[in-house]
């Protein structure tokens, strides 16, 4: 019975996710679902992206959080459209939450929309929200074993950023072993080591973003 109920919930969610992506496609907006564990650097990556691309690409942000608007306030200082979703305890965004948020976003004035999901490596990977790409951010302090512990997250990723590589000298994080684990789950995913503190690797990430915008497939499946 529980399996049937979960299947029904996911099926209904997927239908709304498809509607969300159709809306984004009609506006020519590339949407990226930003997923990570708490503290990995989701907001920091978004801020670095805004700083690097805001003169050439119009960026919007939907911030998901269990409570508070701390990250939204940080984004708002960059003078880009930003909207807060507070889940009130839910550990992930779902398609219906995003659908409501999209109604209040100026999509005609946005080229790329980042949707920062709740800090969680489990259920955020299970619920499609209508984005075109899935970004997973890992960080050196959380260890290199996460692909083995939470395989679904890395299976659905289109791009993985390994953040905080400036801390590698002080950590046992084995980046080569990490990449092997990731590739064992998802051979096509790109892994980019970055540091939001030093800026290392950020240009490679920005190129991926702009290339994705140029190559957006408006007939793609919602994620």
- pLDDT, tens digit, for every residue of 178-206? 999 999 999 999 999 999 999 999 999 99
Please tell me the total number of residues recorded for the chain in this structure.
223
pLDDT band (50, 70, 90) for residue 106: very high
In the numeric block, which tokens belong to residue 99? 């659908």
pLDDT tens for residues 58-85?
A: 999 999 987 777 888 999 999 999 999 9
- Architecture of the CATH domain 24-215: 3-Layer(aba) Sandwich (3.40)
**In this structure, which long-range contacts are made by residues 18-22, counting pairs with CB atoms below 8 Å and at least 24 apart in sequence?**
18/130, 18/222, 19/95, 19/99, 19/130, 20/95, 20/98, 20/99, 20/102, 20/129, 20/130, 20/222, 21/130, 21/131, 21/132, 21/220, 21/221, 21/222
Percent of the chain scored above 70 by pLDDT? 92
Mean pLDDT of 30-52: 97
Residue 21, pLDDT > 90, answer yes
Q: How many whole angstroms separate alpha carbon 137 and alpha carbon 158?
A: 11
Asked whether the beta carbons of 162 and 40 are under 8 A apart, the reply is no
Mean of pLDDT over the chain:
91
Asked whether the beta carbons of 102 and 129 are under 8 A apart, the reply is no
pLDDT tens for residues 110-143?
A: 999 999 999 999 989 999 999 999 999 999 999 9
Mean pLDDT of 94-113: 96
Mean pLDDT of 42-50: 97
CA 196 from chain centre, in angstroms, equals 16
The reported pLDDT for the residue numbered 173 is: 96
pLDDT tens for residues 213-223?
A: 988 744 444 45
Q: Half-sphere exposure of 116 toward its Cβ, with a 13 Å CA cutoff? A: 29
Asked whether the beta carbons of 49 and 114 are under 8 A apart, the reply is yes
Q: Kindly give the interhelix angle for 2-27 and 95-102, rounded to the nearest 10 degrees.
A: 30
**Cβ count within 10 A of residue 171:** 16
């Amino acid at each position: 019975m529980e399996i049937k109920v979960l299947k029904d919930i996911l099926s209904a969610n997927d239908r709304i996710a498809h509607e969300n992506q159709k809306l984004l496609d009609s506006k020519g907006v590339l949407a990226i679902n930003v997923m990570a564990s708490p503290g990995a650097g989701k907001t920091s990556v978004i801020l670095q992206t805004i700083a690097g691309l805001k003169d050439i690409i119009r960026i919007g942000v939907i911030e998901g959080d269990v409570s508070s608007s701390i990250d939204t306030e940080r984004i708002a200082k960059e003078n880009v459209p930003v909207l807060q979703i507070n889940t009130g305890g839910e550990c992930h965004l779902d398609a219906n939450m995003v659908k409501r948020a999209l109604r209040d976003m100026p999509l005609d004035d946005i080229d790329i929309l980042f949707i920062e999901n709740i800090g969680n490596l489990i259920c955020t990977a299970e619920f499609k929200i209508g984005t075109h790409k899935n970004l997973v951010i890992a960080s050196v302090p959380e260890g290199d074993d996460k692909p083995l512990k939470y395989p679904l997250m890395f299976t659905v990723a289109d791009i993985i950023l390994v953040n905080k590589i400036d801390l590698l000298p002080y950590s046992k994080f084995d980046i080569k072993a990490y990449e092997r684990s990731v590739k064992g789950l998802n051979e096509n995913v790109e892994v980019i080591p970055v540091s939001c503190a030093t800026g290392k690797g950020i240009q490679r990430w920005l190129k991926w973003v702009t290339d994705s915008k140029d190559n957006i497939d408006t007939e793609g499946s919602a994620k």
